[in-house]
Amino acid sequence: MEQSLNLIRFEPAKILYVLTPKCGSSSMVNIFLTMAGFDPREHGIRKLARSASTESTLAAQGLFFSNTDTAGVLRSHAEFPEHKLLANIRNPADRVLSNYYNKLNRYTKQYAFGIYAYGKLRQFMEGPKSWRRVARGNAYMQRHLSFQALLDGLEQHGPGFDAHYALQSELLALDKLHYAHLFRLENLDADFRDAMAGFGLPSQMLDRVKAVPRNNPSAYGGRADALMTPQARASIARIYAADFAALGYPV
CA-CA distances (angstroms) from residue 104 to 109, 110, 126, 134, 233? 9, 10, 19, 9, 18
Q: Are residues 181 and 199 in the same domain?
A: yes
Q: Are residues 98 and 63 in the same domain?
A: no
Please tell me the predicted confidence (pLDDT) of residue 130.
95
Q: Are residues 157 and 234 in the same domain?
A: yes
Q: Are residues 16 and 118 in the same domain?
A: no
In a domain, 215, yes or no: no
Range of the domain at 81: 5-92+166-206
CA-CA distances (angstroms) from residue 34 to 40, 49, 52? 7, 11, 13
pTM attached to this predicted model: 0.88
Q: What is the rounded distance in angstroms from the CA atom of residue 169 to the CA atom of residue 242?
A: 7
Q: What is the rounded distance in angstroms from the CA atom of residue 30 to the CA atom of residue 177?
A: 25
Q: Which H helix or E strand runs over 53?
A: helix 45-54
Question: φ and ψ at 86, to 5 degrees?
Answer: -130, 160
pLDDT of 194-249, one tens digit each? 899 898 888 888 888 876 666 555 555 555 589 999 999 999 999 999 999 999 99
Q: Are residues 157 and 52 in the same domain?
A: no
pLDDT of 18-75, one tens digit each? 999 999 988 898 899 888 888 766 555 556 556 555 557 788 888 898 889 999 999 9
**Treating both helix axes as pointing N-terminal to C-terminal, what angle do 104-111 and 113-125 enclose, rounded to 10 degrees?**
130
In a domain, 65, yes or no: yes
